[in-house]
Chains A and B, each alone.
Chain A
Amino acid sequence: MKNKLTPYLLVSPYIIHFILFVAFPVTFSIVLTFHKWNIISPMEYTGLTNYIRLFSDATFWKSLGNTLVFLVIHIPLQIIVALLIAEILNQNLKFRGFFRAAFFLPVVVSGVVVTILWQQLYGFDVGLLNRLLVKIGLSKIGWLTDPDIAMPSIAIMATWKNVGLYVILFLVGLQTVPSHFYEAADLEGATRWQKFFKITIPMINPTIFMVVILSTIGGFSLFIEPYVMTGGGPLNSTISAVLYIYKQGFFYYHMGYASTLGIFFAGIILLVVVIQKKFVERD
């Protein structure tokens, strides 16, 4: 009897943790989507009102659009830059270990610190980037104050912050490509570009897909950067879906509506990941 109970007792911390911190909050969030609740007053049943509001909430759709813009810029940029750096670091360079560590450094630096640092770089009047532009005779750019440029600026910063992680993944991928493929290609007189596109890319395809999936999920959770740098502005051009959900929940305490947005957004992420998974499996 005692022995039968032991496994249950051993897994019970996880089960308790799962119930308290996963199952209960998710179930409670779903229940909340049918209610109006500001935390301090009793919940009020509102049926599908929150869902109806969601479909007519222009700011939410704008936040989804912004997140999409971020992903469209961030993912290709991340893959190209990471692959390029990984390819260089895969060569027999001097101080290779140092460079690998250097590129990885931003990954382990706090997101808020990186964001504040880039805020200084992006400053319109005193920012380093604009000072350089003026020095070479170009006009200043409203990196964070121009509604058309603010989100691409955030995407560039996020790429700088995260690229080190993907460099490591690509390095691992590159090192799995057998060297005799390249030797054979050399014998056939293949150029460097031909080797890259005909051997390297197909051989590291699984890594590329993994990077795409990780970047997509990471990109969907865009929050710290716009929260610290722009507060979602200018003109809501950098408000991401997560930031909007956070604002609804923790600025205005519209818990029911924030839960509705959260559940809907989680559904979108799930859909995108399933499509990507199918795509990977087909490949």
Chain B
Amino acid sequence: MKKLYSKNISFVILVLAMTFLFGCQDSDNGKENEFIYWSSNNSNEIDYARQIVKKWNDSHADYFVKHQPVPEGQSSEEVILASVVGGTTPDIYSNMWEGDVEAYAQAGVLIPLDTLAGFMEFLYARCDSSAIEEVRSQNGHIYQIPWKINPIMLIYNKNHLAAINLDSPPRTYSEFMEAGKRFKKDLDGDGYIDQWFGYSEVLVTWWQRFFDFYPLYLAASGGAPLIKDNKANFNNKYAVEVFRFLRELYRNNYFPRERLSARQDPFLSGVIAIRFTGPWEIAHAEQYKPEGFEYDFTSMPVPDSSDSIPYTYCDPKNTVIFNTCKNPQAAWEFLKYSMTEENDLLFLEVTNQLPRRSDLLENVNFDSYFERNPMMRTFAKQAKHVRGTDQTPVLKEVFDLISQEYEACVIYDRKSPEQAIEDAAKAVNLLFLD
């Protein structure tokens, strides 16, 4: 009995000790000359990060970088949030969505990079002034390095457009409507349309608007911000025009109200002729396209009155240094190294994503890549006319409110575009009163 008792005690003590040992583990990232670097966990980016880290470690004995893909989770954003809450952030993270940074900056968990020696000089050499202003925080500091972009453009099926006698993709809203009218069909004769001109996810989820409303708004407005001076800036004719344009697409059955995402890819299977997407579509299309399938990309459609080159949303992912980093200046040296011309080219080659630098088309070092990947050249051209997100900690709420009105007006036609935009703006302004 005594033996059993002492066994019980030992077991309970062991359990408690383990709980406290692992539960209270110090989140300290270690030495000043060793950095933990998290990259995206997509296989190409892991490959790139491994190569870059190996090159750095081979040539820099003084600072050792330890690479690790961001741990698996429902999304990398959630994992980063959990690591911030748990105090287990890496020193460097290279896949931070631009829209998340302001909240972290205001929470004081990021290093203001503009305080590091050589940072601003590097930034001015790499990016144009609009990209720099885009990432400037509300408090005037810069907490992120514009790193990579994937501009949203219009992908189109060349054969389908040729079948409706179009030599080039539609550029304006009127051309778009005309193409939609010619293309939509009831293939099986059941009285319902089953071939639509295009498709965009009808879900009300806030980030879906990065693939329809937002790039169209940027295209129409010449890249105007949604939020300015902590107030809604989108209650203007451009947003109304975009809502009206999209509403007409659904009203006329040029776009389906049904979700097509659970079935075979509607673009590659020819059920739709266009959609709004990014350069990641190239690898997907090349792998799964049927024989004879031809496609290309063009800019987002614009209102008929517009004659300038359309802007679009670029889905920017940037690099940050967390305040758990013991030696931010040295961490910055690694980041600077990872974004040299040579290493940006390596990034482009390995991941087929665009580094956010202003000389992509002018720098001869990138020429051979774009010659081998002509579709990426289209994205590189568009990269001169892109916007990321506004710097506000309530960005998701802003997009959610717009998305609610989008659904009511565009998808279900329950509100006029004017009313929907006005209601969204009112609700957004209330957010800033809190």
Tell me the A residues contacting B by CB distance below 8 Å: 2, 6, 9-10, 12-13, 38-41, 116, 119-120, 123-126, 134, 140, 142, 144-145, 147, 231-236, 251-253
Contacts and interface: CB of A to CB of B under 8 A. Distances in A.
A134 B81 contact: no
A145 B407 contact: no
B81 A233 contact: no
A236 B393 CA distance: 25
Contact of B81 (A39, A116, A125): A39
A12 B12 contact: yes
A40 B258 contact: no
B5 interface: yes
A30 to B, nearest CB: 20
B256 A40 contact: no
Contact of A251 (B5, B8, B257, B396): B396
Contacts of B257: 124, 142, 145
Closest 10 CB pairs of A and B: A40-B107, A124-B258, A41-B107, A233-B204, A231-B203, A134-B190, A145-B257, A40-B84, A125-B194, A39-B85
Nearest to B397: A252
Q: Size class of B's contact patch?
A: 35 or more
Interface string B1-12: 000010011001
B104 interface: yes
B414 A235 contact: yes
A9 B13 CA distance: 10
Contacts of B119: none
B5 A116 contact: no
A231 B411 CA distance: 15
Nearest to B414: A235
A13 B192 CA distance: 62
Contacts of B194: 125
Nearest to B80: A40
A234 B412 contact: yes
Given A40-B81, A124-B257, A125-B256, A2 B262 contact: no
Contacts of B8: 6, 9-10
A126 B262 CA distance: 11
B206 interface: yes
Interface in B82-140: 84-85, 103-104, 106-107, 109
Residue among B12, B15, B204 with max Cβ neighbours from chain A (10 Å): B204
A99 to B, nearest CB: 30
B348 interface: no
A87 to B, nearest CB: 37
B104 A40 contact: yes
B412 A147 contact: yes
Contact of B205 (A119, A120, A123, A231): A231
Given A124-B257, A234-B412, A252-B400, A13 B15 contact: yes
Nearest to A119: B262
Contacts of B12: 9, 12-13
A144 B414 CA distance: 17
Contacts of B262: 116, 119-120, 123
